[in-house]
Structure 1
């Protein structure tokens, strides 16, 4: 393959990843708006959107569907490690913070990978293993949200979902009164405050996601927002197809395994916005949102995400999976859990996590 062809594949790969991420942002915004407009439970919305990492799921499912299960499994490990090591590590380095995390969540964080690990020991994850892991995700997520509903502090709501739930919870009379006093379509006081907060966050640190390019659906009907959500799904499908096809051409041309490429390059690029979902809440004094993102994402990655991949195609879990990926995932989980158990994330622990991620990249290509 010539250098020009490789550059073309790389450009197609990046375009596909950006399209997937942008369409996911549009989808979340559209679903949130339509749910609020149509009277759908914000709590149910939170369960669906905060508990599932759509970018990873879409890329993994597409890779498995076109018979690239190693690439799909690589994204599961790579994005799990990115959230644990890079997102938490960078947050600790840039903004050391204190937080009191419920012990039950720490146990979930440490123990939730064990079923997938146990099922991987025989060297393969087949459709039966995939079904077990996929089904396991439901009670785990339901248990976390049941606890959240009874708690005064929420740990699993992402920023977008929290906005949607708050919007749904607003008194309709108050919303109407605000609209009447602001005929030019101005936001409510609550939304205005949140906008100021997000704007301040962007001034302190560059925005790492595509929020500012998402179309504004405020004031649109619920049905219109649903149509936008459906179009976003089409965009996700196209983008994931471009990403996976070009990724295969790249790692074949470079002579590396799909597992290593998915665990490093693909997962790194697809996970960049996880920095925003972790670092920005910490900067804004809402570290519980960052911890919620870490817990929710980890639960999803090692249960439903890998389970769906195994349902579509048997996955080889021997070799590097056991000698590289599981050991590094375990190490990062223990460091993060130990750090959160002490109630503070320091620059030292952040540096250790980032160093583990660098070592993980090196181990994949050694």
Structure 2
């Protein structure tokens, strides 16, 4: 008999959620690139805002806090943060090793964003006031990123495709744009790793930038719904195994909930748009360690002693510094990917010692 909690139905819902996430990621990438061309806003900034703000993780954390399960809530924050830094970046390096000359200001932002939450954690608890302060910190950080890009008028943070289109338009107008599109198609055909999903993604080339931006927002909503379906079904499966609390949130629940983060980091690299991947990593880390932790603490004080200080913060700090050092070098290699994924495996192991 197939009921609401039937294992068969839960597996079907899980697969539907995964498929929805992957499809929406493809649409998101196409929409971000088109929006950046038409609106004159960098793909990096749009990735930070639209991909970095992880609505699904926020909903999980807030729900757990309302249910007076702050340990589960903070576990998802650390688990997803570490997943993005290790598995997502590591797998991207394994699939398609890539080079990037990341502006130092964004690397500084990546390292400094968790400092306020860590400082508050040293007191043994993040309370209502600390949570409010962390939430209030998030918007000024986004405003700074936007201001910095508008002030410097950098082209680095635009995707390769956007740079090509802008340059070609300046030289030869519509004909050059067509040439750029042909170059892009040829580049995609030469990729070693192809998910063959492009044919299912609607083209936005003839649409306005505002329309493409709306599509990007809808794609984020779709990713959130798909991830929510995945988490719901996975939670039903794994709760039956008796896994709960901080370790459950930091490992099983956050792993399942992070599927969209994996796609948002690996897929842009595969499509030779690594700045979108880095934008997702920076945006996610900033969001997790400011607004996400803040919302949880705002609703329910978070105890930060015990494993939070002895396991989760040390692992997070080590992985954050490894990723930052890799980006400083400007190369994410397969060896880097193996090391980062190994750190995540060790994190799981330590959680269940």
Query: How many pairs does the alignment contain?
Result: 343
Task: State the alpha-carbon separation in 1 of the partners of residues 30 and 297 from structure 2.
Answer: 30
Tell me by how many angstroms 1:225 deviates: 5.6
Contact 2:83 2:258 in 1 (8 A): yes
Q: Is residue 59 from structure 1 mapped to residue 56 from structure 2 by the alignment? A: yes
Contact 2:43 2:275 in 1 (8 A): no
SS at match of 1:43: coil
Map of 2:308 onto structure 1: 321
Q: Is residue 239 from structure 1 mapped to residue 239 from structure 2 by the alignment? A: no
User: Per-residue CA shift, 1:155-197, capped at 9, x if unaligned?
Assistant: 4x5x5xx65687678759965x449xxxxxxx72222222322
Contact 1:62 1:241 in 2 (8 A): no
Contact 1:88 1:278 in 2 (8 A): no
User: Per-residue CA shift, 1:8-47, capped at 9, x if unaligned?
Assistant: 32432343344345345545645765786xx6x3327753
5+ residue gaps, structure 2, are none
Contact 2:106 2:282 in 1 (8 A): yes
Contact 2:72 2:248 in 1 (8 A): yes
Tell me by how many angstroms 1:92 deviates: 4.8
User: Per-residue CA shift, 1:111-140, capped at 9, x if unaligned?
Assistant: 221111122334444453333223323333
Task: State the alpha-carbon separation in 1 of the partners of residues 299 and 32 from structure 2.
Answer: 27
Map of 2:195 onto structure 1: 207
Map of 2:187 onto structure 1: 197
Tell me by how many angstroms 1:353 deviates: 2.0
Contact 1:81 1:329 in 2 (8 A): yes
Contact 2:73 2:249 in 1 (8 A): yes
Task: State the alpha-carbon separation in 1 of the partners of residues 107 and 162 from structure 2.
Answer: 27
Taking structure 2 as the reference length, the TM-score comes to 0.74
Residues 112 and 237 of structure 1, relative CA distance in 2, 3 Å threshold? closer
Contact 2:24 2:220 in 1 (8 A): yes
User: Per-residue CA shift, 1:43-65, capped at 9, x if unaligned?
Assistant: 277534334426x7121132234
Tell me by how many angstroms 1:331 deviates: 0.9
Task: State the alpha-carbon separation in 1 of the partners of residues 85 and 99 from structure 2.
Answer: 17
User: Per-residue CA shift, 1:240-292, capped at 9, x if unaligned?
Assistant: 543443344234212112543443332453332145246436xx5x7666545
Map of 2:139 onto structure 1: 138
Contact 2:25 2:263 in 1 (8 A): no
Task: State the alpha-carbon separation in 2 of the partners of residues 343 and 106 from structure 1.
Answer: 11
Taking structure 1 as the reference length, the TM-score comes to 0.72
Give the CA RMSD over aligned residues.
4.2
Task: State the alpha-carbon separation in 2 of the partners of residues 97 and 224 from structure 1.
Answer: 31
Task: State the alpha-carbon separation in 2 of the partners of residues 261 and 226 from structure 1.
Answer: 36
Task: State the alpha-carbon separation in 2 of the partners of residues 275 and 45 from structure 1.
Answer: 14
Q: How does 1:10-25 map to 2 (within 5 A)?
A: 10-23=11-24, 25=26
User: Per-residue CA shift, 1:189-229, capped at 9, x if unaligned?
Assistant: 2222223223322xx01339x65533223334678667756
Residues 280 and 357 of structure 1, relative CA distance in 2, 3 Å threshold? same
Task: Choose which of 284, 303, 309 in structure 2 pairs with 1:297.
Answer: 284
Contact 2:227 2:260 in 1 (8 A): no
Residues 271 and 138 of structure 1, relative CA distance in 2, 3 Å threshold? same
Q: How does 1:4-153 map to 2 (within 5 A)?
A: 5-23=6-24, 25-26=26-27, 29=30, 41-43=39-41, 46-53=44-51, 57-67=54-64, 70-92=71-93, 100-149=101-150, 150=152, 152=154
